[in-house]
Copies of this chain bind each other. A is one copy, B any other.
Amino acid sequence: MQFTSEQRFDDGVVEREFTLGEIPGILWTPPSAAAPAPLILIGPPPLGLNKVYSRLAGRARHYAAEYGFASATIELPGSGDRPRWAAADQARADLRRAVQAGEPVGDELVDALILPLVEKAVPEWQAVLDVLQTLPGIGGPVGYEGGIISIGVRLAAVEPRIAAAGFFAGSRVPAAIFEDARRVTVPLHVLLQWDDEGNPRQAALDLFDAFGSKEKTLHANMGGHTGVPEYELDAGARFFARHLR
């Protein structure tokens, strides 16, 4: 892992950009503490880290300053400055065309967009996690939150180091990922936007129901995809504080 920049904020939180092989990412660490900081992996939306930097950094810095958590995010395959991925671009365009035309969105369109991303992103998160856990000041249980929910569900199903996960039920989920959901057993905190334009509410409730976890909480709020209320930031942090300490 190569660190390519470092910035220290007034509150003592340190932000470092890194690359691991071809994967760029950002790591935030809290002011140095006696005990190693639990780590939260923050899944990005598929827009490129540059475009969502302020939102992700806001969350990460809140976690670090208020709760003493480290957190990290990585660029998705085919997003941001990473090499274009023609098949993913095509699948996204196909899905968008169907939605804009008001056509029913078939399983094959969702599968074509989501499953290759899951197959590629999950091992990348695992590789990054391998290295992050060797860094001084980071230790203990690991949380995952955000991003494309299918990636998080698969990661939580296959990666035993994930001890708790916070998902945003805000994108379509292939049937194969419902199978993963049944195998997830860690505590879950799931956000749902009640009137999310592109995502059928019933499918999100069905996914929540499918998770194998004994402890799972659904926070449903009014409004569309981008309307998650600000107070959910701290509700998520408190969820992790219950499970990563």
Residues on B with C-beta less than 8 A from A216 are 221-222
**Copies of this chain:** 2
The total of chain A residues at the interface (CB under 8 A) is: 19
Contact residues, A217-236 vs B (CB, 8 A):
217-222, 229, 231, 235
Q: A194-B209, A231-B238, A231-B242 are in contact. List 7 more A-B contacts (CB 8 A).
A: A205-B205, A213-B222, A215-B222, A215-B229, A217-B220, A218-B220, A235-B235
Residues on B with C-beta less than 8 A from A221 are 216-218
Contact residues, A95-129 vs B (CB, 8 A):
none
Contact with B along A201-216 (1 / 0, CB 8 A): 0000100110001111
Q: What's the minimum C-beta distance from A56 to chain B, rounded to whole angstroms?
A: 23
Q: What is the bound-complex CA distance between A213 and B194, given in angstroms?
A: 13
Q: Is the interface of A mostly helix, strand, loop or mixed?
A: mixed
Q: What is the bound-complex CA distance between A229 and B242, given in angstroms?
A: 12
> Hey, which bits of chain A sit against chain B, CB under 8 A?
194, 205, 208-209, 213-222, 229, 231, 235, 238, 242
Residues on B with C-beta less than 8 A from A220 are 208, 217-218, 220
Q: Which of B209, B219, B231 is A218 in contact with, Cβ under 8 Å?
A: B219
Q: What's the minimum C-beta distance from A12 to chain B, rounded to whole angstroms?
A: 26
Q: What is the bound-complex CA distance between A221 and B238, given in angstroms?
A: 16
Q: What's the minimum C-beta distance from A212 to chain B, rounded to whole angstroms?
A: 11
Residues on B with C-beta less than 8 A from A208 are 220
Q: What's the minimum C-beta distance from A191 to chain B, rounded to whole angstroms?
A: 10
Q: What is the bound-complex CA distance between A213 and B221, given in angstroms?
A: 11
Q: What is the bound-complex CA distance between A214 and B105, given in angstroms?
A: 29
Q: What is the bound-complex CA distance between A235 and B221, given in angstroms?
A: 14
Q: What is the bound-complex CA distance between A219 and B218, given in angstroms?
A: 5
